[in-house]
Amino acid sequence: MYAHQRKYEDQLSSVPLAASNRFDLNFQLVLSEFLPLVPDRSDEFLSLLQHELTTAFKAGWNLESEEWGKVKFEGDGIILYMQKPKTFEDPGFELSTEG
């Protein structure tokens, strides 16, 4: 949901999901909609997840989709690179008018 929404923003092509052992607040808000927890209030969960994700990415784990983009581990942060929305085009299509 997060990437699906953010990809329509003009300036952003990537969004940090986590940095310095903390998830981005907007991402936490979305995450808390789907999981019964808020990472900032769940220290154990966060440290475990941070460790799990970091280890997985270092081991070559890939998380990506043609639909929304990919997640990468860079520096000490986890970055989401968003796929630009695909706007369908049909040069032969001519819009009708009402009436």
Partner 1 sequence: MAVFRFIHLSDLHFCLHPLRRNLRMLHRRRLWEQIDSFQNQARDLGLSTLVSPSSYDPAITAAAARFCYDRRRIIDAIIVSGDLATTGKPIDLNPARSYIEDAALSGPYINSFSQSLAATGRRIYFLPGNHDMYRDDSGWPGSPHFHLMLEKHLPNLTGSVGWWTRTKAGGQVLGCVYGDFCLRSVTDAGNVAFYHGRGRAYPDTLKKMVADTIALKSSHDRITLIWLIHFAPFQCPTSLQLMDWQNVTKEAERLGVLCTLCGHTHEQSKIARDKHVVYCSGSAGSVEPVGESRVHVIEIDPDRSTAQRQNFEYKAMDQSFQSVSSD
In Å, how far from its chain's centre is CA 63?
10
Q: Is 96 in the site for partner 1 (CB under 8 A)?
A: yes
Choice from 9, 43, 64, 76 touching partner 1 (CB under 8 A): 9
**Single-letter code of the amino acid located at 32:** S
Stretch that binds partner 1, among 14-22, 39-47, 56-64, 79-87 (CB under 8 A): 79-87
Pairing of strands 69-74, 77-82: antiparallel
Least Cα distance to 32 among 20, 13, 45, 19 occurs for 45
Choice from 16, 22, 30, 42 touching partner 1 (CB under 8 A): 30
Shortest approach of partner 1 to residue 13 CB, angstroms?
Answer: 14
